[in-house]
């Protein structure tokens, strides 16, 4: 049997509103995995195992229920709030793929281990929506990760070097250099530097200006939105631990990873790379003379940076 990719969004949307009805997912490992709606109308994912399962703590997003039915133990993961459905679909896909990645032996341990990783992520989940400006910035970071970093450093090293979601002062840092990504609108002539630390370093780095035009929802070139880039990147990651790290960073950013009628679309017009060295026009703590000033933000004129422009060969 060739294992097909499971689209959990499609599975759950085709259930309808029938509560307490469960359907099995065919797989080539003969591992029983079910999905459906609980008696309380909660989206539910179930793994059926032979071994007795100790209590598993729930989270604010996922409620865990354990039942013994006809000599088998059912581990049920129920989505508590439909606001987090998109995250739940990613959770289901990752849990399912990890569960069937080996034979039936140790299935229970694989399920519990993987949920432990997700529990850490669920602690960071927020209901608040991100601003358009922040989403545009995240789009630029994902675009750079996919189009440049993967080719230059490889997938694992690139994911580990992505510091934006972790609130590092540099978006990417690797091999004694760093990259700060600034995503600007099509008509913008300025780059905003939001802290003294962003361009401050003892080693040379790069300021990358990704210029984008906002497009209609009908536009798509396969990598024109945060959800499209998210799925392209996730599909490239084969190492399960690296995938969890990537998903954790995405959860930290609180972005929607599924296409919808509200998804913002962008067309990248150009990418310009600038070498940031001692001669580059920047403000740092070293050239702020007043100790009372602890931080500043400032704008840099893009056309005036021409003399610092460089090619970054992969």
In this prediction, residues 262-281 reach a mean pLDDT of 95
Per-residue pLDDT band at 2 (split at 50, 70, 90): very low
CA separation for the pair 302, 280 (Å, rounded): 12
Identify the weakest region by mean pLDDT among 20-24, 84-88, 146-150, 271-275: 20-24
Helix/strand/coil for 143: helix
Band (4; pLDDT cuts 50, 70, 90): low
User: What are the extents of the domains in the chain?
Assistant: 8-122, 132-310
Helix (H) or strand (E) holding 232: helix 226-236
In angstroms, rounded to a whole number, what is the distance separating the alpha carbons of residues 153 and 144? 12
Which phi and psi (to 5°) does residue 21 adopt?
Answer: -115, 125
pTM of the complete model:
0.86
Per DSSP, helices labelled H in 173-287 are 226-236, 240-253
pLDDT digits (tens, 9 = 90+) for 177-218: 999 999 999 999 999 999 999 999 999 999 999 999 999 999
pLDDT in tens, 120-135: 888 888 777 889 999 9
Q: What is the pLDDT of residues 27-63, one digit of tens each?
A: 878 899 999 999 899 999 999 999 888 889 999 999 9
CATH topology of domain 8-122: Yope Regulator; Chain: A, (3.30.1460)
| Lowest mean pLDDT, pick from 9-13, 149-153, 208-212, 255-259 | 255-259
Residue of higher predicted confidence among 292 and 25: 25
Give the pLDDT of residue 314. Answer: 59
Distance CA 240, CA 200 (A): 34
């Amino acid at each position: 049997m060739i294992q097909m990719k499971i689209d959990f969004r499609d599975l759950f949307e085709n259930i309808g509103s029938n509560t307490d009805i469960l359907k099995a997912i065919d797989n080539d490992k003969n591992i029983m995995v079910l999905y459906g709606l609980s008696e309380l109308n909660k989206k539910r994912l179930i793994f059926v195992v032979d071994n007795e399962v100790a209590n598993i703590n729930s989270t604010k997003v996922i409620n865990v229920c354990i039942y013994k039915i006809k000599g088998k133990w059912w581990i049920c993961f129920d989505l508590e709030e439909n606001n987090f459905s998109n995250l739940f679909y990613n959770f289901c896909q990752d849990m399912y793929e990890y569960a069937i990645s080996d034979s039936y032996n140790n299935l229970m341990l694989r399920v519990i281990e993987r949920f432990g990783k997700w529990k850490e992520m669920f602690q960071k989940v927020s209901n608040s929506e991100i601003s358009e400006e922040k989403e545009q910035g995240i789009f630029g970071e994902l675009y750079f990760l996919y189009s440049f970093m993967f080719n230059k450093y490889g997938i694992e090293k690139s994911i580990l070097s992505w510091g934006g979601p972790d609130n590092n002062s540099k978006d990417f840092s690797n091999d004694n250099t760093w990259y700060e990504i600034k995503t600007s609108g099509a008509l913008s002539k300025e780059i905003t530097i939001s802290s003294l630390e962003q361009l401050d370093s003892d080693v040379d780095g790069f300021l990358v200006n990704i210029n984008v035009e906002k497009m209609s929802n009908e536009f798509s070139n396969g990598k024109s939105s945060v959800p499209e880039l998210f799925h392209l990147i996730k599909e490239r990651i084969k190492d399960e631990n690296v995938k969890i790290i990537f998903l954790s960073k995405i959860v930290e950013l609180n972005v929607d990873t599924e296409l919808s009628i509200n998804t913002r679309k962008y067309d990248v017009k150009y990418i310009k790379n600038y070498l940031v060295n001692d001669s580059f026009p920047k403000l740092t703590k070293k050239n702020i003379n007043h100790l009372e000033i602890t931080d500043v933000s400032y704008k840099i004129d893009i056309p005036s940076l021409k003399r610092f422009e460089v090619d970054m060969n992969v």
